[in-house]
């Protein structure tokens, strides 16, 4: 793996050299610890926390050029989670238990991670309102309305 550096363009305002070095070091450490996905431009690193994800992008030569903190609350509408919670009885028993015992924030995190890693996919071919989710060994089809409220959940 190439030695990572941090691009100058990442700092919008000229920071103190001490702060700049520490921010750079933190970004490099975070990048190295994160799950990485290869893109034509380089690598995208994802690190997940309880209420947010940290996304860091680097070029193919190992220069970090952007980073973003993404709050799970901003990723999915509340109606999506509320309707999922109301329909939990239609999913496998171990997931029912997990939904019952979990906070909605944890559900949001799990679905957000599924979106990031392409486990939750929109099926645009036959029906624009179907979401297919590969969860553990289950293929789950979520039928939505236009407000992202679940009408039905099916296990395939």
SS3 letters across the chain: CCCCEECHHHCCCCCCHHHHHHHHHHHHHHHHHCEEEEECCEEEEEEECCCEEEEEEEECCCEEEEEEEEEHHHHCCHHHHHHHHHCHHHCCHHHHHHHHHCCHHHHHHHHHHHHHCCCEEEECCCCCCEEEEEECCEEEEEEECCCCCEEEEEEC
pLDDT, tens digit (0-9, with 9 covering 90-100), for 49-87: 777 788 899 998 989 998 888 877 777 777 777 777 777
Looking at residue 1, its pLDDT comes to 60
Asked whether residue 74 is assigned to any structural domain, the reply reads: yes
pLDDT, tens digit (0-9, with 9 covering 90-100), for 19-38: 788 888 989 999 998 888 88
Range of the domain at 25: 6-143
Asked whether residue 149 is assigned to any structural domain, the reply reads: no
Question: pTM, whole model, 2 decimals?
Answer: 0.50
pLDDT at 46 over 80: yes
Asked whether residue 1 is assigned to any structural domain, the reply reads: no
Asked whether residue 155 is assigned to any structural domain, the reply reads: no
pLDDT at 6 over 70: yes
pLDDT, tens digit (0-9, with 9 covering 90-100), for 91-116: 777 777 777 777 667 777 777 777 66
Asked whether residue 103 is assigned to any structural domain, the reply reads: yes
Banded model confidence at residue 90, pLDDT cuts 50, 70, 90: confident
pLDDT at 125 over 60: no
Asked whether residue 154 is assigned to any structural domain, the reply reads: no
- Report how many domains make up the chain: 1
At residue 146's C-alpha, the angle toward residues 140 and 151, to 5°, is 45
- Share of residues in the chain with pLDDT > 90 (%): 6
């Amino acid at each position: 793996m190439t030695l990572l550096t941090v691009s100058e363009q990442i700092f919008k305002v000229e920071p103190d050299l001490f702060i700049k070095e520490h921010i750079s070091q933190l970004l490099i450490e975070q990048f190295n610890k994160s799950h990485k996905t290869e893109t034509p431009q380089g690598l995208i690193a994802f690190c997940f926390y309880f209420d947010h994800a940290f996304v860091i992008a680097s070029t193919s030569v190992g220069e970090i050029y952007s980073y973003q903190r993404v709050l799970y609350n901003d990723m999915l509408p509340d109606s999506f989670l509320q309707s999922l919670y109301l329909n939990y009885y239609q999913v496998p028993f171990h997931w029912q238990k997990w939904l019952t015992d979990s906070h909605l924030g944890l559900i949001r995190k799990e679905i957000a991670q599924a979106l990031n890693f392409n486990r939750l996919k929109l099926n645009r071919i036959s029906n624009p309102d179907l979401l297919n989710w590969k969860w553990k060994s289950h293929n789950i089809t979520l039928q939505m309305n236009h407000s992202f409220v679940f009408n039905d959940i099916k296990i395939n």
